[in-house]
A and B are shown apart, each in its own frame.
Chain A
Amino acid sequence: MSRIEKTLEITNKYGLHARASTRLSQVAQEFSSSVHLKLVSDQDGQTVDVKSVLGILSMGAESGESVHITVEGDDADKAMAAIEDIFERKFDEE
């Protein structure tokens, strides 16, 4: 069981709106590890479960913002790699 943390930047055009949130939650759901997200700009703010599309949407994260991701569990390595990948691919938006 391991825990990995990383800060990633949202670079797609519309930020974490419906489509990108859906893709991100789908990716997180593929792993048994827990995946949580928090806005870097709002350290006292809430942490949401990335497997929940509603949770991600409720952050209202815009393009250009950075988020802090925490992955915890047996497949944490793979999960984090997949999350990084989907961020890099701009959530398959473009």
Chain B
Amino acid sequence: MKVCEGIPVSPGIAFCQAFVLRSLDEGSVIPRSIQKDGIETEVQRYKDAVKKASARLDKELNKLEEQDEISRQILGSHRNMVADPVFAKEVAKCIQEQYVKAESAVHIVMAGYLKRFESMEAAYISERVHDLHDMKRNLLEALGKSVSRNLSSFESEVIVIGHNLTPTETTSMDKGKVRGFAIEVGGRTSHTAIIARALRLPAVVGVKGITRDVRDGDTVIIDGYSGEVIINPDEATLKTYKARAEVADTYYRELVSDVGLPAQTIDGYPIRISANIELPDEIHTAMEWGAEGVGLYRTEFLYDGKELPDEETQFKSYKSALSLVGDHPLVFRLMDLGADKLTLPGFDHEEQNPFLGCRSLRLVNEYPEMFRTQIRAILRASHFGNAKLMLPMIAQLEEVQRFKKLIIEAQRELDKEEIPYNPDLEVGIMVEVPAAALSASQLAREAQFFSIGTNDLIQYTVAVDRVNERVAHLYQPCHPAVLRLIKMIIEEAGKSQIPVSICGEMCSEPAYAILLMGLGLRNFSVSPVAIPMIKKVIRQITMKQARETAQDCLKFKTADECQSFLNVKTRRWLPNPW
């Protein structure tokens, strides 16, 4: 028995035989011998395959728009690679000398190149190796071999184990047979994780070395609540987990069946629950689970890391998102790029401190057009639904004023073009920098609403990068300074009479949700998967209990004391199925 740990990204417990997904280059081509008289046929097959692959790439090239210069270059480069004359000679030689089929020869010759590339400098290799894999795939496909990894049909139930799963692979999985998956890469917000939640498949990501530790047919347990992956469990462990899975699944089904009930405390205080949306597909699940709108609509998904989306693409996407939430509000956050997220094309500055560097709205000096385009698209979409606009990473009043000016300019443009928009579109800010929290009363004069972004607020307050495992333990939501800042923001919003909500990960966790309610928050925006749980917790307590909990929490001198108190105090209200 071996226990591995990863990040739980989709709830549920699964146990069954493992299917280990090997990457495309490993053993996907079995060496196939041929007779001497077959040599000519194989050499000809390879030549035909090159022609076929080239023709296919030419066709794709022709389909591309003139102006799509980057894609044209990449495809052109691949087109040139499949037709490489030296590679062709080497393949022919391999067929002749080793008596193997063309597929095997491609595999063998390519292995030699990959080996050579691997001795090179890191950044250079990763890019090139990718190209080589593409080239190989192109050639093998032309040789008539299906090279996509097939997960769409299994004979018995399986848990899929792999290094990585692409979103397409995840959606193509045999829904009746795949019970869950564990992969080596990825995080909570990776697209694969989001799709797993939408498919309601237990999933754990970021499990280091899992493909090495698991063999096909091993029994594996995946705990999508704790993030544990247990390989070949002993009798007792398997029994415990079987019991847990039953209780947990029943409990979760109950949670989901109760989503129609209002999020209201026993003593009648309603809490508004909306959703944090990463990908448009998630809106369906969120609304189905009773979200009252979208409190944070991340727009970065529109940007593929290569080319910024144009106004029309954005407008259509925003309009369709608005149509899915009906009359409920949907808060669009302006592109929040840089730092840990994608960087922009042509932006190749070395950042010594990316989180303190040129990220988010600070990119406006270098990319004014990007913001102008997005603001126009949001304004145009605002004509079709209850849209709001949110400015991330605000640290100073001038930033709010500057963006409001940009919004007015965009409105003037649209007026001239006679394009309709909502002139009363509300513009709010994310309060996620301590400076903004401390100057909330000034900011409230320019902002029409506040949304507390706890992820960054905590990291900037305690000066801890939570991805850095050496300091991650110091990232403490219960730090007295964090709680005071949150309290201060709520109070200032109250004095200025503007609405305040919270949209960080913190409010997706039940114990913190109670604390935040007690501090005075009535508007939560949580990840869709957390909605049923948070609603249930709210229905199980009174506002009086939440307030007392919060008041007690504010008295502690240290984060640890506060955290232990909160854990003990909230235990009886929390859904603990085992």
Contact = CB atoms under 8 A, between A and B. Distances in A.
Interface of A: 17-19, 21-22, 25-26, 29, 49, 51-55, 57-58, 60
B117 interface: yes
Contacts of B84: 25, 52-55
Interface in B109-134: 113, 116-117, 120-121, 124, 127-128, 131-132
B73 interface: yes
A54 B127 contact: no
29 contacts: A17-B128, A18-B74, A18-B127, A18-B131, A19-B73, A19-B77, A22-B73, A22-B76, A22-B80, A22-B81, A25-B84, A26-B80, A49-B85, A49-B86, A51-B85, A52-B86, A52-B87, A53-B80, A53-B81, A54-B81, A54-B84, A54-B86, A54-B87, A54-B113, A57-B128, A58-B116, A60-B117, A60-B120, A60-B124
Instruction: Return the 8 tightest CB-CB contacts between A and B, nearest first.
Output: A52-B86, A22-B77, A60-B120, A22-B80, A18-B77, A49-B86, A58-B116, A52-B84
Contacts of B87: 52, 54
A19 B131 CA distance: 12
Contacts of B121: 60
B77 A53 contact: yes
Mostly, the B contact residues are helix
Interface in B428-479: none
A58 B132 CA distance: 11
A58 B127 CA distance: 12
Contacts of A25: 80, 84
Contact of B128 (A18, A29, A55): A18
Interface string B84-121: 11110000000000000000000000000100110011
A22 B80 CA distance: 7
A52 to B, nearest CB: 3
A53 to B, nearest CB: 5
Nearest to B121: A60
Nearest to A51: B85
Interface in B2-37: none
Which of A53, A54, A60 has most B Cβ within 10 Å? A54
A57 to B, nearest CB: 6
Nearest to A25: B80
A58 B131 CA distance: 12
B210 to A, nearest CB: 32
A87 B80 CA distance: 19
Given A17-B127, A57-B128, A29 B117 contact: no
A49 B90 CA distance: 12
A51 B117 contact: no
Which of B85, B127, B135 has most A Cβ within 10 Å? B85
B134 to A, nearest CB: 11
Which of B73, B77, B116, B135 has most A Cβ within 10 Å? B77
Contacts of B77: 18-19, 21-22, 53
Contacts of A52: 84-87
Contacts of B81: 22, 53-54
A17 B73 CA distance: 12
A18 B127 CA distance: 9
A44 B348 CA distance: 35
A1 to B, nearest CB: 20
Nearest to B124: A60
A7 B492 CA distance: 70
B113 A29 contact: no
Nearest to A15: B124
Which of A18, A25, A51 has most B Cβ within 10 Å? A18
Given A17-B124, A18-B127, A26-B80, A58 B117 contact: yes
Contacts of B113: 54, 58
A32 to B, nearest CB: 12
Contacts of A21: 77
Contacts of B128: 17-18, 57
A55 B131 contact: no
Which of B73, B84, B113, B117 has most A Cβ within 10 Å? B84
Given A52-B87, A60-B121, 9 more contacts: A18-B73, A18-B74, A22-B73, A25-B80, A49-B86, A51-B85, A53-B84, A54-B81, A54-B87
Nearest to A46: B116
Contacts of B73: 18-19, 22
Contacts of A51: 85-86
Contacts of B120: 60
Contacts of B127: 17-18
Interface string B125-147: 00110011001000000000000
Nearest to A19: B73
Which of A29, A52, A55 has most B Cβ within 10 Å? A52
A77 to B, nearest CB: 22
B435 to A, nearest CB: 38
A81 to B, nearest CB: 22
Interface string B465-500: 000000000000000000000000000000000000
Contacts of B86: 49, 51-52, 54-55
Interface string B511-546: 000000000000000000000000000000000000
A21 B80 CA distance: 10
A61 to B, nearest CB: 10
